[in-house]
Amino acid sequence: MSAVTWTGRQSGGLATIELTFDPADQRLVVFSAALLDELSSVLDEIEHELAAGRQSGSAADVVVLTSAKPNCFVAGADIGEMLAMREPDDIRRFVDVAHVLFGRIAGLPVPTVAMIDGACIGGGTELSLACSYRVASDNPKTQIALPEVTLGIIPGWGGTQRLPRLVGAEAALPLITGGRPLSGAEALAIGLVDVCVPAAEMPGSLAELAGRPERASAGSRESAPMPEVPAALVEATAAAIGTGRIHPAAPQSALAVVVASAGKSMQEGLELEREAFVRCLASDAGYNLMSMFFHRGALRKESFGVDVAAAGTVDRAAVLGAGVMGGGIAWALSSAGIAVTMKDVADEPLRRGMAAATEMYDQLLARGRTDAAAAAAGLQAISPTTEYGAGFEQLDVAVEAVTEELSLKQRVLAELEDNVAADTVICTNTSSLPLDELAASVARPERFVALHFFNPVNRMRLVEVAATEATSPASLATAVELARRLGKTPVVVRDRPGFLVNRILFPYLLEAARVCDETVAATEVDAELARFGMPMGPLRLIDEVGVDVTAKIANALAGSYGDRFMAPPLLDRMLDAGQVGRKGGGDAALGFYRHEGRSATPNADLPLAAGDGPARAGAAAATAAASVADAADRCLLMMVNEAARCVEEQIVSQPLYVDLIMILGTGFPEHRGGPLRYADQRGLATIVTRMEQLADAYGERFGPCDELRRRAKGGKHFLA
């Protein structure tokens, strides 16, 4: 069955040619090379039909482009095919094919109308821009966007040229450099679409559009030079790029193309666009961003060998341990329509838990992601209590989320099992403790599984799931499917203390504390790693987690992995001084920083080591570029080394998942590709040499692990 077809018909008194996208066995329309070939062949036929019609006097009045897929016009280009293109000439051919095809559509001798009902993304939007008119539905799933910059590339199929000519640079630049999707109504407001109506009324708009006196405007846009971009607009756009969440290379490149195209013809502008697209896709950052986006989609669908059919139904759940984490888990359950009992031993933590859940619903309300009635119903679905009651006997799942302390968790788990039904799945939210020791506290370990959420629960999409040898397939499947129901990405990891995220993250955090104590001011360490791309510096992150929690988790992991996980003495001194991080409360909570409201300034009373270390907090030796770069390298390479150990121990089923999980769980910068991709691109032999230098200078904890050495010696990468 053809993915692209056309047919002639009468519609509202008009002779129409309807070109329809309908690739078989696909939920979405995606522009693959094969589909573009079919589109070219169909255009051959349509051009022939229009020429024959002109000769016979029966030419069609309008060509309509539509999709047979529900809630989808065109969802962009095939990312997998783009990732396979590493040679510049291959990328140029890929761009040129679309430029020619869309130019042919723009040059058809009759008006063309794109009927947009659902996703119109990237190449789909660029296709619609080549049409004379665009009709959008008011379907909430109609989203029109040029999101390429979020993938490390730029709109490469005419988007940088046709959109500014259509709506003007002021409206176009935020879409080209920011990637934000527009609803049909928003697109209508800026002139990106010509009509926005209910889907059922879209065909009725054809007669009105075809009869508009400005029907030739599409042709004039194609032949007009690109307008100048005012200097003030260029400056404002560049400033917005600098403060945005998107890696700036692609947005800056897109802006440069639009500016450089001023006064140039469409063809000249398309050539500028093509070359910038080639540079972006051929770069490490562009490849990494696109690769991680592509593989995140695959990770969401990964089964991990779990039999989904074995999963139990979850209608009622409980959370043991309130506070911020417990409240976040309760929020996630209630927002998925699950009745939740939240239990703690006292009213105060329950108040904190309910406050945390309330704040998460308030954030959804503020962003328009829910309404007041749904938020109220969600909160009403959470029942706080200090006692076990009859309701516990009807629970499908119970999640233990008390403080990370082995004896406490064991006691709570044993007590919980005594109060729930025999088939209730019991989950622990541990992040560092041995599962086997926790499972020993329940009489039926087959129903015991780890379900590790990340804080803040409403923002972090990752959930680590781990089973012991005794865990039943049904219990594991129930935990995995519950995480998916909560809108999370579950990853099944091997049962080892710290699982994967904390196992890799903590050597990085602890090394940052060591370098701060020895040589470099906290602000300098954090600033350098923020420049690397981390969402927050490691010392600021320790403050957010809590100095006490960090030390406790570190020392628990040290029991399994040795001294490289031992909390450095600075953390102990901070705890002795009552400096526990942001949660310390009072007028000014102290950690590595002094926290007052949302502001954080350096803690002048940080109990740094006495002795002959270089002066800190502003001294030239402490803030010298070489010293700061060395500090950042120490932190990052501790992370790389631990990631390599996790590959060696098969904590997850493939190295790619190590990178994906670290991006999802810690915010490791996507444009770096994850710690393993970063190591590959830096060079494993270079990494090994550098770590040997660090081991000589700072201690054996930097000794490169066997997996790193083997791959470096054999010239093998972690990732293809």
Residue among 452, 595, 671, 717 flagged as catalytic: 452
- Quote the pLDDT of residue 56: 81
**Sorting pLDDT into bands at 50, 70 and 90, what band is 310?**
very high
Contact 464, 586 (CB under 8 A): no
Q: Is the dihedral of CA 113, 276, 174, 223 positive or negative?
A: negative
DSSP string of 34-102? HHHHHHHHHHHHHHHHHHHHHHHT---SEEEEEESSTTEEE--B-HHHHHT--SHHHHHHHHHHHHHHH
How many other C-beta atoms lie within 10 A of the C-beta of residue 695?
14
Q: What is the pLDDT of residue 671?
A: 95
**pTM metric for this prediction:** 0.89
Whole-number pLDDT of residue 217: 60
- Identify the three-state secondary structure at position 250: helix
Question: Which residues contact residue 288 at a Cβ distance below 8 angstroms, ignoring those fewer than 6 apart?
Answer: 152, 670, 671, 672, 673, 677
Average confidence (pLDDT) over 335-357: 95
The domain boundary, picked from 261, 282, 303, lies at 282
Domain assignment present for residue 296? The answer is: no
Are both 347 and 384 inside the same structural domain?
Answer: yes
Q: Dump pLDDT digits (tens) for 245-303.
A: 889 999 999 999 999 999 999 999 999 999 999 999 999 999 999 999 999 988 988 99
Diameter over CA atoms, the chain = 96
Give yes or no for a contact between 677 and 285, defined as CB atoms under 8 angstroms apart: no
Looking at the predicted structure, is the pLDDT value of residue 441 above 60? Answer: yes
In terms of Cα–Cα distance, which of 334, 328, 349, 327 is closest to 379? 334
Q: Is residue 697 part of a domain?
A: yes
Task: Please indicate, yes or no, whether residues 706 and 674 belong to a single structural domain of this protein.
Answer: yes
* Total domains present in the chain: 3
Within a domain: 292: no
Residue 616 — pLDDT band, cuts 50, 70, 90? very low
What is the average per-residue pLDDT within 421-431?
Answer: 95
Is position 298 within any domain? no
706 with 569, same domain: the answer is yes
Do the domain assignments include residue 254? yes
- Going by their DSSP bridges, the two strands 112-116 and 62-67 should be labelled as parallel
pLDDT tier for residue 720 given thresholds of 50, 70 and 90: confident
Separation CA 707–CA 650 (nearest Å)? 11
- Domain boundary among the residues 460, 492, 524 is at 492
Q: What is the CATH number of the domain that holds 545?
A: 1.10.1040.50
Per the DSSP assignment, residues forming a β-bridge with 320 are 343, 400
pLDDT-based confidence at 614, cuts 50/70/90? very low
Strand 133-137 vs strand 112-116: parallel, antiparallel, or unpaired?
parallel
Q: Are residues 563 and 446 in the same domain?
A: no
Query: In whole numbers, what is the pLDDT of the chain averaged over residues?
Result: 92
Q: Which of 436, 458, 492 is the last residue of a domain?
A: 492
- Burial label, 9 (beta-carbon count in 10 A; 0-12, 13-18, 19+): exposed
- Does 670 score more than 50 pLDDT? yes
Residue 152 Cα distances to 164, 278, 337, 426, 529, angstroms: 21, 11, 37, 42, 21
Same domain, 251 and 135: yes
Model confidence at 584, in pLDDT bands (50, 70, 90)? low
pLDDT greater than 80 at residue 567: yes
Nearest to 511 by CA among 643, 639, 666, 676: 639
Of 212, 184, 278, the C-alpha closest to 61 is: 212
Q: Is it the case that residue 109 has pLDDT exceeding 90?
A: yes
Tokens of 340: 């939740």
Interval 617-633 mean pLDDT? 66
Q: How confident is the model at residue 244 (pLDDT cuts 50, 70, 90)?
A: confident
- How confident is the model over 196-224, as a mean pLDDT? 80
pLDDT at 586: 61
- What pLDDT score does 213 carry? 58
Is 259 inside a domain boundary? Answer: yes
Q: What is the pLDDT of residues 123-176, one digit of tens each?
A: 999 999 999 999 999 999 999 999 999 999 999 999 999 999 999 999 999 999
Q: Are 235 and 86 within one domain?
A: yes
Quick check: is 523 in a domain? yes
Residues 520 and 487 in one domain: no
Sheet holding 72-74, edge to edge: 72-74, 119-121, 143-145
Average the pLDDT over 600-624 and give the result.
Answer: 63
615 and 669 housed in the same domain = yes
Segment holding 172, helix H or strand E: helix 169-178
> What share of the chain has pLDDT > 70, as a percent?
96
Whether 210 shows a pLDDT value over 90: the answer reads no
Answer for the pair 123, 219: CB distance below 8 angstroms, yes or no. no
Instruction: For residue 452, indicate whether it is catalytic.
Output: yes
Q: Do 263 and 381 fall within a single domain?
A: no
Claim to verify: residue 506 and residue 488 sit in the same structural domain = no
Give dist(CA 520, CA 647) in Å, integer.
Answer: 31
Long-range contacts, 214-221 (Cβ 8 Å, 24+): 215/111, 215/132, 217/132, 218/106, 218/111, 218/112, 218/131, 218/132, 218/133, 219/106, 219/107, 221/162, 221/165, 221/166
The model's pLDDT over 219-239, given as tens digits with 9 standing for 90+, comes to 778 889 999 999 999 999 999
Looking at the predicted structure, is the pLDDT value of residue 621 above 50?
no
Query: Does position 19 have pLDDT exceeding 90, yes or no?
Result: yes
Q: Could you tell me if 333 and 486 are in contact, meaning their C-beta atoms sit under 8 angstroms apart?
A: yes
The gap between the terminal CA atoms of the chain, to the nearest Å, is 34
Would 521 be classed as within a structural domain? yes
* CATH code of the domain containing 387: 3.40.50.720
Query: Is residue 11 scored above 50 in pLDDT?
Result: yes
Q: Is the pLDDT of residue 615 over 50?
A: no
Task: Provide the domain limits for residue 46.
Answer: 4-282
Do 62 and 126 belong to one domain?
Answer: yes
Residues 165 and 52 in one domain: yes
The kind and range of the H/E element at 436 are: helix 435-439
The CATH number of residue 103's host domain is 3.90.226.10
216 pLDDT higher than 50? no
Measure the CA–CA gap between 339 and 361, rounded to whole angstroms: 16
Q: What distance in Å separates the CA atoms of residue 337 and residue 331, rounded to the nearest whole number?
A: 10
The pLDDT confidence band at residue 625, using thresholds 50, 70 and 90, is low
Contact between 437 and 405 (Cβ < 8 Å): no
Has residue 243 got a pLDDT over 90? no
pLDDT above 90 for 54? no
DSSP classification of residue 201: G
Query: Token pair of 431, please?
Result: 């992040």
For 501-526, write each residue's pLDDT tens digit.
Answer: 999 999 999 999 999 998 889 999 99
Placement of tokens 């665009």 in the chain: 134
**Model confidence band, residue 651 (pLDDT cutoffs 50, 70, 90):** very high
Burial degree of 348 (CB within 10 A; 0-12, 13-18, 19+): exposed
